[in-house]
Amino acid sequence: MSQCRGVPPGIPHSDPPVTPPLSPDSRGPVNVVLVGPPGSGKGTQAVRLAERYEIPHISTGEILRAAVRAGTDLGRQVADTLAKGSLVSDDLMTDLVRARLGEPDTGNGFVLDGFPRTVAQARALDEVLGPSPMMVILIEVPDADIVRRMGTRRVCDSCRLTQSVADVFHPDTEPCPYCGGNLVRRPDDEPETVRHRLATYAQYAAPVIAHYRSRPSFAVVDGLQHADKVAAAVAALIDRLLSQQS
Protein backbone atom coordinates (compact mmCIF):
# COMPACT_ATOMS: atom_id res chain seq x y z
CA MET A 1 0.00 0.00 0.00
CA SER A 2 1.38 3.42 -0.88
CA GLN A 3 2.36 5.85 1.83
CA CYS A 4 2.80 9.58 2.01
CA ARG A 5 6.43 10.35 1.40
CA GLY A 6 8.60 10.11 4.50
CA VAL A 7 5.97 8.44 6.72
CA PRO A 8 6.71 4.81 7.61
CA PRO A 9 3.72 2.46 7.06
CA GLY A 10 1.41 2.07 10.01
CA ILE A 11 3.25 4.55 12.25
CA PRO A 12 1.21 7.62 13.25
CA HIS A 13 3.06 10.83 13.89
CA SER A 14 2.40 14.27 15.18
CA ASP A 15 4.24 17.43 14.33
CA PRO A 16 6.78 18.35 17.03
CA PRO A 17 6.40 21.80 18.54
CA VAL A 18 8.48 24.45 16.85
CA THR A 19 8.83 27.88 18.41
CA PRO A 20 8.11 30.85 16.14
CA PRO A 21 11.29 32.30 14.61
CA LEU A 22 12.58 35.72 15.50
CA SER A 23 11.58 38.38 12.99
CA PRO A 24 14.32 39.50 10.56
CA ASP A 25 14.34 42.92 12.27
CA SER A 26 15.18 41.44 15.67
CA ARG A 27 17.93 39.01 14.67
CA GLY A 28 21.12 38.88 12.66
CA PRO A 29 21.41 37.22 9.26
CA VAL A 30 20.62 33.50 9.10
CA ASN A 31 23.43 32.16 6.91
CA VAL A 32 23.14 28.39 6.71
CA VAL A 33 25.08 25.75 4.80
CA LEU A 34 23.28 22.40 4.70
CA VAL A 35 25.40 19.30 4.17
CA GLY A 36 24.13 15.77 3.69
CA PRO A 37 24.28 12.75 1.40
CA PRO A 38 21.84 12.22 -1.46
CA GLY A 39 18.60 10.89 0.00
CA SER A 40 19.15 12.54 3.39
CA GLY A 41 16.28 14.99 2.89
CA LYS A 42 18.63 17.97 2.68
CA GLY A 43 16.65 19.63 -0.13
CA THR A 44 13.38 19.28 1.77
CA GLN A 45 14.92 20.83 4.88
CA ALA A 46 16.44 23.67 2.85
CA VAL A 47 12.99 24.61 1.56
CA ARG A 48 11.54 24.53 5.08
CA LEU A 49 14.33 26.71 6.46
CA ALA A 50 13.87 29.21 3.66
CA GLU A 51 10.17 29.49 4.49
CA ARG A 52 10.69 29.68 8.26
CA TYR A 53 13.35 32.40 8.21
CA GLU A 54 12.18 34.20 5.04
CA ILE A 55 15.51 33.73 3.30
CA PRO A 56 16.32 32.33 -0.17
CA HIS A 57 17.08 28.66 -0.76
CA ILE A 58 20.13 28.71 -3.01
CA SER A 59 20.97 25.42 -4.72
CA THR A 60 23.98 25.06 -6.96
CA GLY A 61 21.86 23.40 -9.62
CA GLU A 62 19.55 26.41 -9.81
CA ILE A 63 22.52 28.80 -9.82
CA LEU A 64 23.98 27.02 -12.85
CA ARG A 65 20.67 26.93 -14.71
CA ALA A 66 19.96 30.59 -13.95
CA ALA A 67 23.41 31.65 -15.14
CA VAL A 68 22.98 29.82 -18.43
CA ARG A 69 19.50 31.32 -18.92
CA ALA A 70 20.77 34.82 -18.18
CA GLY A 71 23.46 34.57 -20.81
CA THR A 72 25.99 36.49 -18.71
CA ASP A 73 29.75 36.05 -19.14
CA LEU A 74 29.71 33.56 -16.26
CA GLY A 75 26.66 31.87 -17.78
CA ARG A 76 28.42 31.42 -21.12
CA GLN A 77 31.41 29.91 -19.34
CA VAL A 78 29.09 27.47 -17.55
CA ALA A 79 27.30 26.56 -20.79
CA ASP A 80 30.63 25.91 -22.56
CA THR A 81 31.88 23.80 -19.66
CA LEU A 82 28.72 21.70 -19.46
CA ALA A 83 28.58 21.28 -23.24
CA LYS A 84 32.05 19.71 -23.10
CA GLY A 85 30.91 17.33 -20.36
CA SER A 86 33.42 18.85 -17.94
CA LEU A 87 32.96 19.74 -14.28
CA VAL A 88 32.52 23.37 -13.31
CA SER A 89 35.78 24.54 -11.72
CA ASP A 90 36.08 25.70 -8.11
CA ASP A 91 36.82 29.25 -9.25
CA LEU A 92 33.84 29.46 -11.60
CA MET A 93 31.44 27.91 -9.09
CA THR A 94 32.69 30.27 -6.39
CA ASP A 95 32.23 33.27 -8.70
CA LEU A 96 28.64 32.19 -9.36
CA VAL A 97 27.89 31.76 -5.65
CA ARG A 98 29.57 35.06 -4.82
CA ALA A 99 27.39 36.83 -7.40
CA ARG A 100 24.24 35.14 -6.06
CA LEU A 101 25.04 36.03 -2.45
CA GLY A 102 25.47 39.64 -3.52
CA GLU A 103 21.83 39.93 -4.61
CA PRO A 104 19.43 41.98 -2.44
CA ASP A 105 17.30 39.06 -1.26
CA THR A 106 20.19 37.60 0.77
CA GLY A 107 20.29 40.57 3.16
CA ASN A 108 18.60 38.56 5.92
CA GLY A 109 20.53 35.39 5.17
CA PHE A 110 20.40 32.34 2.93
CA VAL A 111 20.35 28.54 2.84
CA LEU A 112 23.10 27.08 0.67
CA ASP A 113 22.39 23.62 -0.71
CA GLY A 114 25.15 21.88 -2.69
CA PHE A 115 27.96 24.34 -1.95
CA PRO A 116 30.71 24.10 -0.91
CA ARG A 117 31.70 20.76 -2.45
CA THR A 118 35.45 21.11 -1.93
CA VAL A 119 37.73 22.55 0.73
CA ALA A 120 38.83 25.20 -1.77
CA GLN A 121 35.20 26.27 -2.17
CA ALA A 122 34.73 26.24 1.62
CA ARG A 123 37.72 28.52 2.10
CA ALA A 124 36.47 30.82 -0.65
CA LEU A 125 33.06 30.99 1.03
CA ASP A 126 34.75 31.99 4.29
CA GLU A 127 36.41 34.85 2.42
CA VAL A 128 33.16 35.90 0.72
CA LEU A 129 31.28 36.10 4.03
CA GLY A 130 34.11 37.64 6.05
CA PRO A 131 32.97 38.34 9.64
CA SER A 132 29.33 37.52 8.89
CA PRO A 133 28.31 34.45 10.95
CA MET A 134 27.57 31.16 9.19
CA MET A 135 26.04 27.94 10.49
CA VAL A 136 26.90 24.55 8.97
CA ILE A 137 24.44 21.73 9.64
CA LEU A 138 25.11 18.14 8.63
CA ILE A 139 22.04 15.94 8.16
CA GLU A 140 23.47 12.53 8.91
CA VAL A 141 21.96 9.27 7.64
CA PRO A 142 23.83 5.92 7.41
CA ASP A 143 24.42 4.62 3.89
CA ALA A 144 22.40 1.44 4.43
CA ASP A 145 19.36 3.44 5.48
CA ILE A 146 19.64 5.72 2.46
CA VAL A 147 19.84 2.71 0.11
CA ARG A 148 16.71 1.30 1.75
CA ARG A 149 14.95 4.69 1.74
CA MET A 150 15.70 5.34 -1.93
CA GLY A 151 14.77 1.77 -2.79
CA THR A 152 11.22 2.33 -1.59
CA ARG A 153 10.77 5.48 -3.66
CA ARG A 154 8.54 5.27 -6.72
CA VAL A 155 7.43 7.76 -9.36
CA CYS A 156 4.06 7.52 -11.09
CA ASP A 157 4.62 7.38 -14.85
CA SER A 158 1.39 9.31 -15.36
CA CYS A 159 1.03 12.07 -12.73
CA ARG A 160 4.81 12.06 -11.90
CA LEU A 161 4.11 12.19 -8.16
CA THR A 162 6.96 10.75 -6.07
CA GLN A 163 5.84 8.38 -3.33
CA SER A 164 7.34 6.06 -0.74
CA VAL A 165 6.05 2.51 -0.58
CA ALA A 166 6.35 -0.36 1.88
CA ASP A 167 9.39 -2.61 1.48
CA VAL A 168 7.21 -5.55 0.46
CA PHE A 169 5.30 -3.53 -2.11
CA HIS A 170 5.70 -4.78 -5.69
CA PRO A 171 5.32 -1.97 -8.24
CA ASP A 172 3.67 -4.22 -10.83
CA THR A 173 0.77 -5.29 -8.67
CA GLU A 174 -0.89 -2.03 -7.65
CA PRO A 175 -1.54 1.26 -9.46
CA CYS A 176 -0.84 4.79 -8.27
CA PRO A 177 -3.50 5.58 -5.63
CA TYR A 178 -3.89 9.12 -6.98
CA CYS A 179 -4.34 8.62 -10.73
CA GLY A 180 -4.15 4.89 -11.45
CA GLY A 181 -0.82 5.14 -13.29
CA ASN A 182 2.10 2.74 -12.96
CA LEU A 183 4.52 3.22 -10.07
CA VAL A 184 8.11 2.78 -11.25
CA ARG A 185 11.54 3.10 -9.71
CA ARG A 186 13.80 5.77 -11.19
CA PRO A 187 17.16 4.49 -12.47
CA ASP A 188 18.88 6.85 -10.01
CA ASP A 189 17.18 5.00 -7.15
CA GLU A 190 18.52 1.55 -8.05
CA PRO A 191 20.61 0.23 -5.11
CA GLU A 192 23.91 0.00 -7.02
CA THR A 193 23.46 3.52 -8.42
CA VAL A 194 22.68 4.87 -4.95
CA ARG A 195 25.77 3.20 -3.48
CA HIS A 196 27.92 4.73 -6.21
CA ARG A 197 26.46 8.20 -5.56
CA LEU A 198 27.08 7.79 -1.82
CA ALA A 199 30.71 6.77 -2.43
CA THR A 200 31.20 9.84 -4.65
CA TYR A 201 29.59 12.05 -2.00
CA ALA A 202 31.85 10.64 0.73
CA GLN A 203 34.99 11.43 -1.28
CA TYR A 204 34.24 15.14 -1.56
CA ALA A 205 32.18 15.65 1.60
CA ALA A 206 34.57 14.19 4.18
CA PRO A 207 37.25 16.92 3.74
CA VAL A 208 34.58 19.66 3.71
CA ILE A 209 33.01 18.34 6.91
CA ALA A 210 36.48 18.14 8.51
CA HIS A 211 37.02 21.79 7.53
CA TYR A 212 33.95 22.86 9.51
CA ARG A 213 33.65 20.27 12.30
CA SER A 214 35.68 22.08 14.95
CA ARG A 215 33.65 25.29 14.65
CA PRO A 216 31.08 26.12 17.36
CA SER A 217 28.58 26.86 14.59
CA PHE A 218 28.83 23.30 13.19
CA ALA A 219 26.14 20.81 14.22
CA VAL A 220 24.92 17.34 13.30
CA VAL A 221 21.24 16.33 13.07
CA ASP A 222 19.93 12.77 12.93
CA GLY A 223 18.33 12.49 9.50
CA LEU A 224 16.71 9.14 10.29
CA GLN A 225 13.94 10.93 12.17
CA HIS A 226 10.66 11.90 10.54
CA ALA A 227 11.12 15.00 8.34
CA ASP A 228 9.10 17.13 10.79
CA LYS A 229 11.38 16.16 13.68
CA VAL A 230 14.46 16.87 11.58
CA ALA A 231 13.01 20.31 10.78
CA ALA A 232 12.33 20.99 14.46
CA ALA A 233 15.86 19.92 15.45
CA VAL A 234 17.47 22.08 12.76
CA ALA A 235 15.34 25.09 13.71
CA ALA A 236 16.22 24.64 17.40
CA LEU A 237 19.92 24.57 16.57
CA ILE A 238 19.70 27.70 14.43
CA ASP A 239 17.64 29.59 17.01
CA ARG A 240 20.12 28.65 19.74
CA LEU A 241 23.06 29.84 17.66
CA LEU A 242 21.22 33.06 16.81
CA SER A 243 20.54 33.73 20.49
CA GLN A 244 24.26 33.25 21.24
CA GLN A 245 25.16 35.79 18.54
CA SER A 246 22.77 38.47 19.83
Is residue 153 among the annotated active site residues? Answer: yes
> What is the percentage of the chain residues whose pLDDT exceeds 90?
57
pLDDT, tens digit, 9 for 90 and up, residues 61-104: 888 888 899 898 888 998 998 888 887 899 999 999 999 999 99
141: Cβ–Cβ under 8 A, 6 or more apart, which residues?
36, 37, 39, 40, 41, 149, 223, 224
Residue at 21 is within a domain? no
Predicted model pTM: 0.80
C-alpha span between 166 and 155 (Å, rounded): 14
pLDDT, tens digit, 9 for 90 and up, residues 26-59: 668 999 999 999 999 999 999 999 999 999 999 9
Phi, psi of 2 (to 5 degrees): -70, 150
- What CATH number is associated with residue 189? 3.40.50.300
**Dihedral of alpha carbons 163, 168, 172, 174, sign:** negative
- Domain residues for 169? 29-51+109-239
Residue at 20 is within a domain? no
Is residue 229 among the annotated active site residues? Answer: no
Instruction: Output the pLDDT for position 177.
Output: 82
Residue at 22 is within a domain? no
Residue at 167 is within a domain? yes
Q: Give how many domains the chain has, as a whole number.
A: 1
Residue at 212 is within a domain? yes
Is residue 123 among the annotated active site residues? Answer: no
Residue at 206 is within a domain? yes
Q: Which of 27, 42, 100, 149 is catalytic?
A: 42
Which of the residue ranges 8-22, 147-161, 179-193, 227-241 has the most confident prediction, judged by mean pLDDT?
A: 227-241
pLDDT at 13 over 60: no
Residue at 3 is within a domain? no
Mean pLDDT of 172-201: 85
Is residue 84 among the annotated active site residues? Answer: no
